[in-house]
Amino acid sequence: MSDRRAKDTWALFKIMAEFVEGFETLRPIWPAVSIFGSARLAPEHRWYRDAEIVSRALSQAGFSIITGGGPGVMEAANKGAKEGEGRSIGLNIRLPHEQEPNAYAERVIHFQYFFARKVMFVKYACALVGMPGGFGTLDEIFECLTLSQTGKVHQFPVVLFGESYWSGLFDWIRKQPLHEGMVSESDLDLFRITDDVDELVEIVQENYTRRQRVHGPSAGEGRDTP
């Protein structure tokens, strides 16, 4: 029986290739916003339509849009970016049940490794937007919050869109982790919840403008990789 672990060292070259392609593709699109959300929503669903509207507004405000490249909210966000005449990028993940890239991303990068893909969501984004989603969306949002909480990345806004969907999560965090001392009151300031597209765009713009004043016009480009 062959030792499957014997190939582990060679996997490093595949990982390196994914990082190189990601860095080279995403570096020119700054400033960008990464949008997360469910892959399971049909175009007629309210959250699909909202994701399209949010993405279009951010694109018209001058931000490139990065998504997971698949269907559902990801497709809606790439579609909104295209309608807003902004850059539209999809970071597709290869899965056992193949996730096909949506038709609206102008550039798609294919990843084998979730961790390499996650780096790309954060490294070239000046904000992150969480639309309603499942385990994958929650994983991405909480990883971004953890990176910000621990100072592994420059702080950027994490905006959760859809009060009816996210408010129960916020209430639970206050009732359990905060009450038990597992997070601090200031940790709750790491994210915002809204139903207002204009407010969301304003949050992103204000943070980006503040960073430009403090760090200069190339702020965020090539920052430390989480």
How does pLDDT run across 86-144, given as a tens digit for each residue?
Answer: 999 999 988 777 578 899 999 999 999 999 999 999 999 999 999 999 999 999 999 99
Quote the pLDDT of residue 185: 94
**pLDDT of 225 over the 50 cut:** no
**pLDDT of 224 over the 50 cut:** no
3-class DSSP state of 151: coil
Quote the pLDDT of residue 216: 62
Q: How far apart are the first and last CA of the chain?
A: 38
Does any domain span residue 18? Answer: no
Does any domain span residue 95? Answer: yes
Confidence of residue 209 (pLDDT cuts 50, 70, 90): very high
Report how far residue 145's alpha carbon sits from residue 42's, in angstroms, rounded to the nearest whole number: 28
Please report how the helices 114-123 and 135-149 are oriented relative to each other, as an axis angle in degrees rounded to 10.
60
Does any domain span residue 118? Answer: yes
Could you tell me which residues are beta bridge partners of residue 128? Answer: 34, 158
Does any domain span residue 99? Answer: yes
Quote the pLDDT of residue 222: 43
Mean pLDDT value across residues 61-70: 96
Look up tokens 């994914």; give the residue.
Answer: 18
Report how far residue 226's alpha carbon sits from residue 223's, in angstroms, rounded to the nearest whole number: 9
Look up the domain containing 122 and give its range: 29-215
Confidence of residue 9 (pLDDT cuts 50, 70, 90): confident
- CATH number (domain holding residue 51): 3.40.50.450
Does any domain span residue 89? Answer: yes
Residue 195 DSSP one-character state: S
| pLDDT greater at residue 213 or residue 74 | 74
Quote the pLDDT of residue 153: 83
Q: Tell me if 200 sits within 8 A of 161, measured CB to CB.
A: yes
Report how far residue 14's alpha carbon sits from residue 211's, in angstroms, rounded to the nearest whole number: 34
Does any domain span residue 20? Answer: no
Torsional sign, CA 54, 57, 59, 63: negative
Mean pLDDT value across residues 18-27: 93
**pLDDT of 1 over the 70 cut:** no
What is the total count of domains within the chain?
1
3-state secondary structure 26-91: HHHHCCEEEEECCCCCCCCCHHHHHHHHHHHHHHHCCCEEEECCCCCHHHHHHHHHHHCCCCEEEE
Does any domain span residue 225? Answer: no
Q: Tell me if 16 sits within 8 A of 115, measured CB to CB.
A: no
Quote the pLDDT of residue 34: 97
Report how far residue 139's alpha carbon sits from residue 93's, in angstroms, rounded to the nearest whole number: 15
Residues 138-173: tens digit of each pLDDT: 999 999 999 999 988 887 899 999 999 999 999 999
Does any domain span residue 156? Answer: yes
Mean pLDDT value across residues 164-188: 95
